[in-house]
Structure 1
Amino acid sequence: MKTVQRYQKGYFLPPQTDWSWIRQEYPQQAPHWCSVDLRDGNQALVTPMCLEEKIAFYQMLLRIGFKEIEVGFPAASETEYQFLRYLVTHDLIPEEVTIQVLTQARENIIKKTFAALKDVPRAVVHVYNSTSLAQRQQVFRKSRREVKELAVQGAELVREWAEKTAGNFRFEYSPESFTGTEPEYALEVCNAVLDVWQPSVERKAIINLPATVEMSLPHVFAAQVAYMSRYLHYREATVLSVHPHNDRGTGIAAAEMALLAGAERLEGTLFGNGERTGNVDLVTVAMNMKALGVATQLDFSFLPDIVSAYETLTRMTVPPRQPYAGKLVFAAFSGSHQDAIAKGMHFRREHPQAPWTCPYLYIDPQSVGRTYDADVIRINSQSGKGGVAFVLEEQYGLQIPKALREDFSYYIKGISDRQQRELQAAEIYQLFRQRYEPHSDGMYVESFAVHKTGNRWQAKAVLVYGAEKQVVEGVGNGQLQAITNGICAACGLDIADLVYSEHDLDGGTGSRGMAYIGITDKTGITAWGIGVDTDTMTAAVQAFTGAVQHHPVFSKQMSFQRRILSAIAVGGR
């Protein structure tokens, strides 16, 4: 028995292929955008939108900046009929906006469509019929000639009803299932329709090429578009449009290549909602163009609000990894990624006029209404020191020393790993304070005073531990050294190295100073402390006290009371 391969290519290459378009890097200008969310998108919903929901969605599309909006199939649904009438009678079609309606090439449907369009200020009447080989053979069982006659009759009926209906109309024709139609036949049908309409440069017709089913690699679809663009009649008076679907998952690539190949208009939906695998995602296409410097005329600067409204009105969800719109598309959990992003952000502050080239972030998240602190650096067990430091700097203004970053990042990674969850910025900040600030139940400095004698500083400090208070004294080359020498002598601390840094925390008069101190003993063990106060020396003393409290060796030594008694015996020096 002969074996027949089940799947074979169902598309047709044009008789002449022009590949010159592929030498372009990207479209130099944005297409005419047409949202079909209220028709193609709506018909794909489990529960189609009601009248109020459609109105709200329409208003959102206007806010984004769409100038062409397909509002429905008014002859197919009473809701869509009433929605169209509502827009017309309530004067909800702005002067620069053209609405679009869909109709099959059948007289009774065309008649009802124009009844819904009465008195419309501007509308595109979109008529279609299927032309593919599969549809001709299996669905309609009609010849090429008969299918072409259906298209011509539909074009004639649309023209006739437009002439006797009050309103301002333009025409659009789609050879549905274009991707499964022989290109030379699709061209023949489209040209026959254009011959009926005889468009002019002042009143252009639209020829729309739907990838009703995505059947080929994107470059093949683009080759088909290039062929149609070259041989269409009335080319200067015709807007060439494409309507990609996403059956192969390459709808965006197909749309972008089609625009290179001669298409001037793009029909699609927000986030790619549509029948089966969906339509082309206009958000992604537009943002891809914006990232290349093309002015799109669409505003997605409030994309989180758009996502929220879309999910409410359609009951669909935007996946977390959806390009540009998903909740996690800017999130970096990897330590190396976070470190590169943090350094890229610092570069941006140093060079605010430089083009956007931040590592791992294709676009600036703020361009679509996202924030660096909540959306970019996310902290879990995979995160690194750069990410943790970035979160604390962005949210709380902390400029943590490099060595302290490493110490704290391992601490945070351990907590996240044990709890198996992401840590939020507020949690991280609280953990930072708990780990490095001096605790009230440990030794702390109640007060101190310093003065200079010759080239040396002398300090006197009141130490508190529990119910005990003692005065200690110290001498040093600087004020902080004098204080720390006194504390170390009183407590018997043997410090091999001390690292200190500070910065302004708030800016302006009365700003607080933030101090960081790391102390290392003779064995090489380091502990860190932090302090914050409007007086920088007070902040530094707090930081030193925190480091002493948190050093594992010092915390296991004899009690403070014994140290104080020893200090008193030797005079605290």
Structure 2
Amino acid sequence: MKHASAGKYRPYPQVDLPNRIWPTKTITHAPIWCSVDLRDGNQALITPMNLDQKLSLFSLLLKLGFKNIEVGFPSASKVEFDFLRTLVEQKLIPDDVTVQVLVQAREHLIDKTFEALAGVKKAIVHLYNSTSVAQRKIVFGKEQDEIIALALEGVDMVKERAAKHDGEIMLEYSPESFTGTELEFAARICNAVTDRWGISAERKVVINLPATVEMATPNVYADQIEWMSRHLTNREHVLISTHTHNDRGTSVAATELALLAGADRVEGTLLSNGERTGNVDIITLALNMYTQGVDPELDFSDLETVVRVVEECTDMKTHERHPYVGELVYTAFSGSHQDAINKGLAYQRSKEDPFWEVPYLPIDPQDVGRNYEGIIRINSQSGKGGVAYVLEDKFGYSLPKKMHPEIGRIVQQVTDEAGRELTSEEILDIFEKTYFGEPHDIEFVDYSVISESAKEHSAKCVLEYTHNGKAIRSEGVGNGPIDACKNALMVEYSHNFKILSYSEHSRGELSSAEAVAYIEIQTESLEKFFGVGCDNDITVASIKAMFSALNRAFS
């Protein structure tokens, strides 16, 4: 990128609002949500949705809990007109849902809009015209008073037709390109519109203040919203609505700050579909609230279905790292992240307090229909804790903490050579080949207890094994079967070692569970090795674990 010539770009002017109060606020309740997927989202698609796709998406929006849904611009095209008529004629609009239609301040467009609305019980007619300095100067060549006259002409036409409509009509007005409009002029035109409509407690108006183009940092948009909130007449009867785009990549932050600044309503789309860089993502906004203990009043408990339906309707894919919904957003490759998540999940299971405290996971994946499979995935950046987590979570091997570094090094060597992520099955294969695989220098065959005294903590055992192909049978005495078998082994075995640690657990369903034992040994050269053994008998599993460690140490 070359340096811009002097004067090509200018900083956005700040709002003179020295006593702003929005920075001291917090979001405590959900706004009125309005989905504009079927209009703003649809017009931004390479191939606009057909009737079946629109119906499918409308059904999804109802299931999610939207009560305001912009269904289109029925005067703009036959497809949009037919879609609204289908909703009406098939009685698909619930009584508690208000459909919204977009229209410009032109008589023939308004007439067509009300023709499409025939039979609708509750509707918002969304009237708009451009008010920004650039639009007035470059596109329309009109002065402020002429722009106001255009808006009021539209209000009069909507008001006249609304009086004849058999149903409830609410007005929404947008000074389009609000963020490029002088605040004094924006307030003037909005107040003129509400006054002409006849605003009251029974006749509220939605004033939509769109960041049609995101032009400044989110705090500036918040200042604009708070400024407008102070300068709108009959503010108590006005619903201030936001409609942010993502040109600067901060539409979510801008909307959140606007809610702090007094906005009552949010227009947006699912997964941020929309013109250019997209509209604000309502999923992200709602789940941001959810993680702060605020009920968003939308149901995103099955995000995989939401993503599937939206992708089918829009023919657009979702990025793997899209907040909350992406394939990889609940996945950790980093070793330190994996270790912290593993410990956090174990801690969460161990406590009675439901408060969610898992490092790196701001939301419980199960709350949005995801699961813990794949949270930890293994590549060359992964650590010991991640490997241990996969072995436990997927296959039931609960490795002792001291064993994690050993298996982590073994798996990392493979990932370094492969240069890619390993599947869970590949990790299991490495584990099994390391601790159970061929070739074996020493093989366990059988053991039997000759005598055992719990009172004296002693046992005498007979151990049968092969060493370098030779069958050996020997006896040993110890403070338990495992110690006795170790002593029996040392009658003819030439490698001295000592057992440093031992642990065990059951694996599998209770009716068919097998015992898993882990033994750590130390050789005369002070090297340490773990062994693993599995059997229906815990003593046999322990002896197998000892033989596993010996084979790793001396084979």
TM-score range, shorter chain: over 0.9
Q: Secondary structure at the match of 1:372?
A: coil
Q: Secondary structure at the match of 1:155?
A: helix
Asked whether the equivalents of residues 438 and 543 of structure 1 are also in contact (C-alpha less than 8 Å), the reply is no
Asked whether the equivalents of residues 438 and 545 of structure 1 are also in contact (C-alpha less than 8 Å), the reply is no
Q: Distance in 2 between matches of 1:71 and 1:288?
A: 26
Matches within 5 A, 1:119-518: 119-374=119-374, 376-437=375-436, 439=438, 443-452=442-451, 455=456, 456-464=458-466, 469-506=471-508, 508=510, 510-518=512-520
Residue 18 of structure 1 deviates from its aligned partner by: 4.3
Matches within 5 A, 1:550-565: 550-551=552-553, 554-555=554-555
Residue matched to 2:21:
20
Q: Distance in 2 between matches of 1:468 and 1:394?
A: 40
Residue matched to 1:113:
113
Asked whether the equivalents of residues 440 and 551 of structure 2 are also in contact (C-alpha less than 8 Å), the reply is no
Classify 1:439/1:475 alpha carbon distance in 2 versus 1 (closer, same or farther; 3 Å): farther
Residue 11 of structure 1 deviates from its aligned partner by: 5.5
Residue 445 of structure 1 deviates from its aligned partner by: 2.3
Q: Secondary structure at the match of 1:327?
A: coil
Classify 1:446/1:438 alpha carbon distance in 2 versus 1 (closer, same or farther; 3 Å): farther
Q: Distance in 1 between matches of 2:414 and 2:512?
A: 36
Residue 511 of structure 1 deviates from its aligned partner by: 2.9
Asked whether the equivalents of residues 439 and 546 of structure 1 are also in contact (C-alpha less than 8 Å), the reply is no
Asked whether the equivalents of residues 245 and 251 of structure 1 are also in contact (C-alpha less than 8 Å), the reply is yes
Letter in 1 for 2:22: W
Q: Distance in 1 between matches of 2:154 and 2:13?
A: 26
Letter in 2 for 1:313: C
CA deviations 1:166-189 (Å, max 9, x no partner) are 333211110000111111111111
Q: Secondary structure at the match of 1:171?
A: strand
- 1:93 aligned onto 2:93: yes
Q: Secondary structure at the match of 2:192?
A: helix
Asked whether the equivalents of residues 438 and 529 of structure 1 are also in contact (C-alpha less than 8 Å), the reply is no
- 1:541 aligned onto 2:540: no
Structure 1 runs not aligned, ≥5 long: 556-573
Q: Distance in 2 between matches of 1:379 and 1:81?
A: 52
Q: Distance in 1 between matches of 2:436 and 2:14?
A: 72
CA deviations 1:266-323 (Å, max 9, x no partner) are 0011121111111111111111111111110111111122122222221212212211
Q: Distance in 2 between matches of 1:420 and 1:255?
A: 42
Residue 12 of structure 1 deviates from its aligned partner by: 6.8
Residue 9 of structure 1 deviates from its aligned partner by: 4.0
- 1:40 aligned onto 2:30: no
Q: Secondary structure at the match of 1:308?
A: helix
CA deviations 1:365-390 (Å, max 9, x no partner) are 2222222231x212111111111112
Provide the aligned length of Structure 1 versus Structure 2: 548
Q: Distance in 2 between matches of 1:63 and 1:298?
A: 9
Asked whether the equivalents of residues 243 and 280 of structure 1 are also in contact (C-alpha less than 8 Å), the reply is yes
Q: Secondary structure at the match of 1:373?
A: coil
Letter in 2 for 1:20: I
Residue 230 of structure 1 deviates from its aligned partner by: 1.6
Asked whether the equivalents of residues 437 and 543 of structure 1 are also in contact (C-alpha less than 8 Å), the reply is no
Q: Distance in 2 between matches of 1:319 and 1:301?
A: 20
Q: Distance in 2 between matches of 1:225 and 1:341?
A: 40
Asked whether the equivalents of residues 40 and 274 of structure 1 are also in contact (C-alpha less than 8 Å), the reply is yes
Q: Distance in 2 between matches of 1:168 and 1:345?
A: 51
Q: Secondary structure at the match of 1:497?
A: strand
274-283 or 389-398, which moves further after superposition? 389-398
CA deviations 1:309-354 (Å, max 9, x no partner) are 2222212122122111112222211111111111111211121424
Q: Output the aligned Cα RMSD.
A: 1.9
Q: Distance in 2 between matches of 1:447 and 1:404?
A: 27
CA deviations 1:225-274 (Å, max 9, x no partner) are 11211221222222110111111111111101111111000001112111
Q: Distance in 2 between matches of 1:195 and 1:203?
A: 11
Q: Secondary structure at the match of 2:70?
A: strand
Q: Secondary structure at the match of 1:389?
A: helix
Classify 1:184/1:453 alpha carbon distance in 2 versus 1 (closer, same or farther; 3 Å): closer
Q: Distance in 2 between matches of 1:281 and 1:453?
A: 69
Residue matched to 1:59:
59
CA deviations 1:86-139 (Å, max 9, x no partner) are 111111111221111100111111111111111012211101000111111110
Asked whether the equivalents of residues 12 and 180 of structure 1 are also in contact (C-alpha less than 8 Å), the reply is no
CA deviations 1:466-492 (Å, max 9, x no partner) are 975442222222101111222233332
Letter in 1 for 2:53: E
Classify 1:470/1:182 alpha carbon distance in 2 versus 1 (closer, same or farther; 3 Å): same
Q: Distance in 1 between matches of 2:6 and 2:467?
A: 89
Q: Secondary structure at the match of 1:153?
A: helix
Letter in 2 for 1:213: V
Residue 501 of structure 1 deviates from its aligned partner by: 0.9
Asked whether the equivalents of residues 513 and 536 of structure 1 are also in contact (C-alpha less than 8 Å), the reply is yes
TM-score by length of 2: 0.94
TM-score by length of 1: 0.92
226-235 or 274-283, which moves further after superposition? 226-235
Q: Distance in 2 between matches of 1:123 and 1:79?
A: 19
Q: Distance in 2 between matches of 1:42 and 1:384?
A: 44
Q: Secondary structure at the match of 2:102?
A: strand
Classify 1:453/1:415 alpha carbon distance in 2 versus 1 (closer, same or farther; 3 Å): closer
CA deviations 1:205-225 (Å, max 9, x no partner) are 111001111111111111111
Structure 2 runs not aligned, ≥5 long: none
Residue 66 of structure 1 deviates from its aligned partner by: 1.2
Letter in 2 for 1:485: N
Classify 1:142/1:482 alpha carbon distance in 2 versus 1 (closer, same or farther; 3 Å): same
Q: Distance in 2 between matches of 1:167 and 1:178?
A: 30
